[in-house]
Amino acid sequence: MKKIFTGLVASMALATTVQAAEVSGTVSFTNDYRFRGISQSAGDPAVQGSLDVAFDNGVYAGVWGSNVDFEDDAKLEIDYYVGYGNDINDGLSYDVSYAFYTYPGYSSDSEYGELALALYYGDLGLTFAYSDDFFNTGESAQYYSADYSFGVTEEVSLDLHAGYSTGDYWDGTTDINDFQDYSIGISGSAVGLDLSATYLFNSIESADEIDSGAFRNDNTLLLSVSRTF
């Protein structure tokens, strides 16, 4: 996976040497780091940040990081990603990306890669993500999601999300079976900050529900504030 990612970065760097680039960074704070409905910070707050570069031809790359807590020696997650996005017509666009997830200093080798394809039509986004080695377990995992953002006012949006996690990983390593995660929230901007409040819930059976500690997956209210530079 590392060789694949390195090759992609090198190829895109060569393809964009004469392209104008825009660099941006984001710093965020949230009361819980949830990944597809499951906490990566044991239900505790997380500080997150990203650095991105986007080229005029649609190619982009970046790095994203967050503190994590698996109730062992895992403390940090750093993800690297590259992608390409473009318009199909006036209303429809697409995005293809590859992300490589890493956990520096973690005694368990959990690094893995994931390929994602997204389609956007107006305020609707549809995404399919696939990994053949999810969390370096040797088992595959797929994720399907639909997101819709509706502008309530010029500054506030209503955000809806539905996701579906499936694949061998969920029926093998974790044994909680396929499940859906949902959220409904509001987001907006004020005094230069991006703010959101989102309620998360899912279809995980009560026998497999974790309401505290590592990988908690109970219903929760997620609050976040971020600033992009």
* Residue 133's pLDDT band (cuts 50, 70, 90): very high
**Cβ neighbours of 221 (radius 10 Å):** 11
Residue type, 131: S
C-beta separation of 101 from 79 below 8 A: yes
Tokens of 132: 């053949």
- Looking at the DSSP bridge assignments, the partners of residue 29 are 47, 225
List domains and CATH numbers for the chain: 2-228 (2.40.160.40)
Q: What is the pLDDT of residues 91-130, one digit of tens each?
A: 999 999 999 999 999 999 999 999 999 999 999 999 999 9
Q: Round to whole Å and give the CA distance between 163 and 182.
A: 6
C-beta separation of 115 from 130 below 8 A: yes
Tell me 4's DSSP state: H
Which phi and psi (to 5°) does residue 16 adopt?
A: -120, 15
Tokens of 15: 């393809």
